[in-house]
Amino acid sequence: MKKDLLSIADLPEADVYQLLEEARRRKTDRRFTRELEGRTMGMIFQKPSTRTSVSFAVAIAELGGVSLSMNAQDLQMKRGESVSDTARVLSRYVSVIMIRANKHSDVEELARYATVPVINGLTDKEHPCQVLSDLLTAFESLRLAKLKDLKGLRVAYVGDGNNVAQSWMLAAGLLGFQLVISCPEGYDPEKEYVRKASSLCEKSGGQVVFERNPHAAVADASVIYTDVWASMGKEDESAHRKQVFMPYQVNEALLRRARGNAVVMHCLPAHRDEEIAGSVLDGPQSVVFDQAENRLHVQKAVLLNCLK
């Protein structure tokens, strides 16, 4: 069976740890290898990308393979070719498809009809590769003894209940740690993801709770996470969202409410002095650029898991 990665919830708990361990190994031993020689990755971009596009392209190159970047505007999909037909055609050419899509349903349809593995590089619903990188960063920056110590995390996610928040919810349910979500009323994660996370938590002992007050949410947190207030496709709401979300800015005052050794995360790109104060982004507790680097090492692990 082909191995797709559409959601972090697709992975058994043991596979998450295996991916993170492989990423750690690749980060320590940064050598070019030939494991994926002769393999080609097709990358479809319906949304702009910096970290996803570069990290995946470099990852497969350092494993001996090649990548092909395809802007959705240049594909026949722009002229109405179906996702299913695109999947069938690309499967005849490439070894794996990574897609950064507007709609999660498009990724699911692509995976349904492709005969090669499909990797979710971001959708409106989830961002699994990002959260895998975040978990690796948490492990490293908090100097945990072993990967399974991630189970003891208390993570506070402050801001918009978007795709990244929803992937964090699934991760908390899968690995069994505590996640506190703090969003303004009306901007919570989708109920479907609340249900999915709750079901996973019942099995793992994890906890996903909601707290409107961001200062209460970060109390005793070891990780404070935020993201842009207006995700791609919602730019027309930016002015209104700035007013609604300003009390949720990750700033020095908020950071003082967390643990003294807490780290601050942001998946980037950041709007400085909006969702996060510039002084915090550049401060000693920020690990945002470590997160960005870890995308490369995690992408290697993901590609190897899909193709070997």
- Grouping H, G, I as helix, E, B as strand and the rest as coil, residue 297 is helix
- Would you call 215 a catalytic residue per the annotation? no
Kindly state the helix (H) or strand (E) to which residue 32 belongs, with its residue range.
none
Mention every residue, 6+ apart, whose C-beta is less than 8 A from residue 145.
none
Closest CA to 280 of 256, 241, 253, 251: 251
For residue 155 the two structure tokens come to 């993570």
Write the DSSP string, 192-247.
HHHHHHHHHHHHH--EEEE-S-HHHHTTT-SEEEE--SS-TT-GGGHHHHHHHHGG
| C-alpha distance across the termini of the chain, in Å | 12
CB distance 294 to 258 below 8 Å? no
- Would you call 207 a catalytic residue per the annotation? no
Closest CA to 121 of 77, 184, 180, 72: 72
Kindly state the helix (H) or strand (E) to which residue 29 belongs, with its residue range.
none
- Would you call 178 a catalytic residue per the annotation? no
Mention every residue, 6+ apart, whose C-beta is less than 8 A from residue 184.
212, 244, 245, 247, 248
* Active-site residue (options: 4, 26, 46, 130): 130
* Active-site residue (options: 104, 127, 241, 266): 127
* Active-site residue (options: 26, 154, 295, 297): 295
* Active-site residue (options: 227, 241, 249, 306): 227
* Active-site residue (options: 104, 267, 299, 306): 267
* Active-site residue (options: 100, 104, 241, 297): 100
Angle of CA points 53, 59, 65, to nearest 5°: 105
Taking the C-alpha atoms of residue 17 and residue 20, their distance in angstroms, rounded to an integer, is 5
- Would you call 127 a catalytic residue per the annotation? yes
Enumerate the active-site residues.
100, 127, 130, 227, 267, 295
